[in-house]
Every structure is written in C-alpha cells, then in structure tokens.
Amino acid sequence: MEIVKTQNTQASVTTSHNKMKTGVLIVNLGTPDSPNTPDVRKYLREFLMDGRVIDIPVAFRWMLVNLIIAPFRSPKSAKTYKELWEDRGSPLKFYGEDVEAMLQKELGEEFEVKLAMRYQSPSLDVVLEQFRNSGYQKIIVIPFFPQYASATTGSVYEKVMKIVSQWQIIPEIKFVNTYYDHPKFIEHFTTAARNYMASHEYDYFIFSYHGVPERQIRKGDCTGKTCNFGSCCDTIHSFNQYCYRAQCHETTRLMVKELGLKEGTYLTTFQSRLGRDPWIQPYTEDTIKKLAKEGKKSVLAFSPAFVSDCLETTIEVGEEYKEVFEELGGEHWQLVESLNNSPIWVELLKDLVTKNS
C-alpha cells in the first residue's frame, strides 16, 4: 500500500509539472505615471526617442526630443493629462488593467494574461521577465493597435524580440499583427454609432485615425511604386496588406457598409501630426473646418485606431475638435467611444488568443 501511495504521489507531481501554460501579453502604447510635468517629460522622452516613432538619425532625434519637444511640450501636455486623469489614474492604463482581469477570467488557468506598456510602466522588460521565470511553452503577443504601423505594432515587436533575444531558452512566440477588420471590432463601433444615430440625425461622419509621416508609409512599400497616397488604398491586396493607410481605409469601408452610409457623407481623416514634414492626409482638423464652412451642422466622429479612450480621443477628438467645429457654426459633435473595457473587446481578444493557441 505504501508503494502505491508513493507512485500516485509521484504521478501527481509529474502531472503538475507537465501542465503547460501560455502567456498572453497585451501591450498598449503607454502613459505617464502621473499628470505632473516631470513624469510627462519622462514619458515623452522615452516615447519620442524610439527610432520607429521619430525615424531620423539618432543624434538629430536626441536634440529634437531633449532640447525642444520635451522641455517645451511637457508643461502643456501635463495640463491636458490633468483634464483626462481620473481617480483610478490614466484611462488608457486602468482600462487595460480591467481587460487584463476580464480576459484572464475568460481564458482560465491554462493561460496567464499580463498587461504591459511599450513606454513606462508596467514595462515590457519587467513583464517578460515574469514570463521567462514561469517557464511558459508559448507566449502570444497582442499589441493594442488594430491597424499595423511601424511606430506602434512594429515598435512592440522590435522591443519584445530585443528582450527575448537575450534569453538562453526562447519559447514559441506568436505575434498578432492586426485586427482592423475583425467582425467584433467593427461591431463595437457600429453598434455604438447606431445608438447615437437613433437619437440624433447626423449629416456627416468622420473616421479619424492617428496620423503617421508619409515617409513611413513609403518605407513600407516593398515595391517602391505601389503607394501614391490615393486610389492605391481603395482595396486591400498583397502589396499593401501591411500599409497603415490602406488598413485604415478598409476599417472605414467595413463600418460604412455595416451602417449603410451614403457616399459623400463620410471621410477617412488623420490627426495628431508632429513637425513640418507631410503626414498622411486629409488632416482631421482641416476637414472639420471645411465641413463647417460648407454648412454641415451635425457630425458623428469615430477614432478606430484606438482601443482605449485616451488623450487623442477624449481630449483631441471629443473636446478640441468639437470646439473648432462649434466655433465655425457647427451645432452638434459626438465622439463614438472606444472599446475600453467592454465585453465585446474581451470576446475579440479571446478569439485572437484561441486562434493563435
């Protein structure tokens, strides 16, 4: 009897050790640790010194960021962050924490979900070290950027690969590239839009995405002749499938089709440009001014490049663009909320994990 018990105990231990788990790394851009100027300055320096964000030679980038942008922009950005900040902190971070817990509950004990930020905390270095020490058989990396861009998804990939390249044992790693056309992604925004459309009549719809410099789009054109910043993005095909601009236009087309919007009542635009070099157009702010001058009175705005409401959605699109529109004669401006911590966002993430497990 004692021998049998010993064997059962050993079998139990072996089973416990053989139970493999998968790490699920969800990654958003990042946010300052506080809305105070020093923390905002620290965040901006880390963010803007990324060579995929400002893709100019490092010496010039260092001078631009540390001598011009960070010193002069930090106080203004800190003031804006204070408007955004809530009791729980930065929405971008606490929505991420909510989703981390919700997704963990949905996936169960075979997975461990961890939130990390590309810049600031919780850092990729710290979270990936936790994964390394846990001996996971696989890591699934899901950047919180629906459309691929070198400055966002590409930067996350690069940082993750740089970290794990130092490990003696590298587990299987799967990167989720995009989900700009995922049915649940489209469903969230169109369902929320219908709720607003049921209570108010809109004469125009703006789909505003974060902008990137034109040079970054050109760098991604492997053919050197596909991109013309025009009709090349009218469809997704093999030569533009990873083009940020093309993916944004495809997201718009899918939402327009689902909502049944008429031609001439909507436009894909781009916001948040920095510097003097041309960024992809049309610019959202210029479009708003044009619409107001044309007599448009009511606009429903979308920000489908963001899964969490943040500075660029709540403040820039929701408040600043609204003010511009109303000052020029517009009467009603409404922003459709991002996925934040909604159940459908967790369902989407669970689907991505399942397909990559």
Picking from 150, 157, 220, the residue whose alpha carbon sits closest to that of residue 233 is: 220
Query: At 213, is the secondary structure helix, strand, or coil?
Result: strand
Residues 6+ apart with CB under 8 A from 200: 298, 332, 334
| Distances 308 to 144, 160, 169, 222 between C-alpha atoms, Å | 9, 22, 34, 31
Residue 210 marked as a ligand binder: yes
Say if residues 135 and 127 touch (Cβ distance below 8 Å): no
Say if residues 311 and 356 touch (Cβ distance below 8 Å): no
DSSP 190-201: HHHHHHHHHHS-
Could you check whether the bond before residue 282 is cis, i.e. omega within 30 degrees of 0? yes
Residue 158 marked as a ligand binder: no
Tell me how long the chain is: 357
Which residue do the tokens 């031609």 mark? 263
CA-to-CA distance for 157 and 150, rounded, in angstroms? 9
- Number of neighbouring beta carbons within 10 Å of residue 265: 12
3, burial (CB in 10 Å: exposed 0-12, middle 13-18, buried 19+): exposed
**What type of residue is 234?**
D
Binding residues: 210, 312
List binding-site positions for Fe(2+): 210, 312
